[in-house]
């Protein structure tokens, strides 16, 4: 049996043992109690017809994410989110079978929440983007996850419900943070390496010098299923200018009748001083549309990234286009087939993928 598969089997056993813990803590009294969820994805990606032949490879792996919330009272909880995934890149033209997978803590917070506000502290992902999680399709979130998602920072934050308005139910959020450089920034089974201050990069400073302010709107009058998001982020650096970001996102789940739902999403993100480089600015646009009827889905998504570098007087445009379709079974299992084509720095590649996913809340 391949060593990578043995490690995955061991990790799955660990996850299963963790999932047994809530049952042991259950009682007739409401508190303390444990809630949580688990999602398991097994995906095979075949990259072919790449201008850079080193990218041509076949990779089979998993993304497994168990999460738990330990409720001590009605408002106070301690939450954790764990991740099992590939934490290293494959070698050129290397085919991998559950290789390079590490298990790590992505979220660990203590929080208090009420009907009107919430406060939290610990390790978390600041509330910046929608598309990194919500763009439709097997590959719809890829570029946003790599470039735009903010994750694994330590600090504190909170949110406040501004109330029901003509613009919808408005929630204002804010957080201050720095990069996680603790032992939790590493992983087990396969080490990805502990983050240090010397690594640099936006958000990696000795103090809590970075922040995000966001506004989320739901329950918009006369627009059932509409939500939108606005946010500004400033990620400080130790040696250069702060990276600044602005995002505007909108998603609308439209019920068309006959069991058909159409969900378009559009997100625009602007970077100033990308990566802490005073001369580099970026623009991102993500657009996706998800059509669902019963257990069937069809998704189309596009992400474009325009980079401008003033020092070199250059600009370039990278993009990704994907299409996928799938079926969701009543037992929580879903199967999706996807295709994407990407162009980065003028080089194109094609990928065909099969995704098996299962989720459960408890």
- What pLDDT, on the 0 to 100 scale, is given for residue 7? 55
C-beta atoms surrounding 318 within 10 Å: 19
- What pLDDT, on the 0 to 100 scale, is given for residue 31? 84
CB 178 within 8 A of CB 154: yes
- What pLDDT, on the 0 to 100 scale, is given for residue 202? 97
| Closest by Cα among 178, 176, 170 to 117 | 170
In the chain, the number of structural domains is 1
Q: Which residues of the chain have pLDDT under 50?
A: 1, 16-27
| Closest by Cα among 296, 255, 251, 277 to 132 | 251
Domain CATH code at residue 219: 2.40.160.10
- What pLDDT, on the 0 to 100 scale, is given for residue 6? 54
Q: How far apart are the C-alpha atoms of 338 and 351, rounded to whole Å?
A: 8
- What pLDDT, on the 0 to 100 scale, is given for residue 30? 81
Whole domain around residue 154: which residue ranges?
3-361
């Amino acid at each position: 049996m391949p060593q990578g598969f043995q490690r995955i089997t061991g990790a799955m056993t660990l996850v299963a043992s963790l999932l047994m813990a809530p049952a042991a803590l259950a009682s007739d009294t409401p508190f303390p109690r444990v809630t949580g969820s688990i999602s398991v994805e097994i995906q095979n990606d075949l990259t072919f017809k790449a201008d850079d032949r080193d990218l041509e490879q076949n990779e089979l792996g998993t993304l497994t994410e168990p999460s738990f919330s330990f409720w001590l009272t009605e408002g106070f909880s301690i939450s954790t989110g764990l991740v099992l995934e590939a934490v290293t890149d494959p070698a050129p033209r290397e085919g991998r079978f559950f290789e390079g997978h590490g298990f790590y803590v992505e979220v660990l917070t203590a929080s208090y929440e009420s009907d009107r506000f919430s406060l939290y502290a610990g390790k978390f992902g600041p509330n910046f983007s929608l598309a990194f999680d919500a763009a439709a399709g097997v590959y719809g979130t890829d570029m946003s996850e790599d470039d735009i998602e903010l994750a694994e920072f330590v600090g504190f934050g909170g949110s406040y419900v501004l109330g029901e308005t003509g613009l919808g139910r408005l929630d204002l959020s804010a957080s201050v943070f720095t990069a996680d450089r603790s032992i939790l920034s590493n992983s087990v089974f396969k080490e990805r390496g502990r983050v240090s201050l010397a690594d640099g990069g936006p958000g990696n400073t000795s103090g809590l010098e970075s922040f995000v302010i966001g506004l989320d709107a739901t329950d918009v009058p006369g627009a059932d299923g509409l939500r939108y998001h606005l946010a500004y982020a400033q990620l400080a650096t130790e040696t250069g200018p702060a990276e600044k970001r602005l995002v505007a996102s909108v998603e609308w789940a439209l019920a068309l009748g006959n069991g058909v739902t159409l969900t378009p999403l559009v997100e625009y993100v602007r970077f100033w001083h990308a990566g802490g480089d005073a001369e580099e600015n970026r623009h991102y646009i993500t657009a996706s549309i998800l059509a669902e009827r019963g257990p069937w889905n069809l998704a189309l998504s596009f992400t474009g990234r325009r980079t401008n570098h003033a020092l070199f007087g250059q600009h370039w445009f990278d993009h990704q286009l994907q299409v996928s379709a799938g079926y969701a079974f009543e037992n929580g299992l879903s199967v999706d087939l996807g295709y994407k084509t990407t162009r980065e720095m003028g080089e194109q590649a094609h990928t065909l993928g099969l995704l098996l996913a299962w989720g459960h809340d408890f």
